[in-house]
Amino acid sequence: MKISRYLGLAALAGVLSTAAGVQAQTAIKVGYPLPLASHYGAGATAFAEDLARTTGGRYKVEQFPASALGGEREMIESVQLGTLDLVITSSGPVGNFVPEVAITDIPFLFRDTAHARAVLDGPIGEELLTKFPPKGLIALAWGEQGFRHLTNGKRPVSSPDDMKGLKLRTMENQVHMLAFRTLGANPTPMAWPEVVQGLQQGTIDGQENPISVIVSAKMAEVQKHLTLTRHVFSPALMIFSKQRYDTFNDADKAAFKSAGKAAAVAMRKFVDDVETKGVETLKSQGMQVVSAVDTAKFQTVLTPAYAEYAKKFGQDKIDRIRNFK
Residue 184, by phi and psi: left (phi above 0), alpha (psi -120 to 50) or beta?
left
Q: Residue 62 forms beta bridges with which residues? A: 29
Question: What is the per-residue pLDDT for 83?
Answer: 98
Contacts of 89 (CB under 8 A, 6+ apart): 32, 33, 72, 75, 76, 236, 237, 239
**Regarding beta strands 225-227 and 167-170, do their DSSP bridges make them parallel or antiparallel, or are they unpaired?**
unpaired
pLDDT of residue 17: 42
pLDDT of residue 276: 86
Residue 234 has pLDDT above 50, yes or no: yes
146 vs 1, residue with greater confidence: 146
* Residue 21, pLDDT score: 45
The pLDDT score that the predictor gives to residue 187 is 98
Mean pLDDT is lowest, of 117-121, 140-144, 274-278, for: 274-278
Chain centre to alpha carbon of residue 103: 16
In CATH, what class is 20-322?
alpha beta
Question: How far is CA 187 from each of CA 73, 180, 201, rounded to the nearest angstrom?
Answer: 18, 6, 17
Give me the pLDDT at residue 230, please: 97
Distance CA 234, CA 182 (A): 20
- pLDDT tier for residue 10 given thresholds of 50, 70 and 90: very low
Q: What is residue 146's three-state secondary structure?
A: strand
**Which pLDDT belongs to residue 164?**
97
- pLDDT of 93 reads 95
User: What is the tens place of the pLDDT at every residue in 202-213?
Assistant: 999 999 999 999
Tell me the domain boundaries of the chain: 20-322
Summary mean pLDDT of the chain: 93
What does the alpha-carbon distance between residue 313 and residue 102 come to, in Å, rounded to a whole number?
9
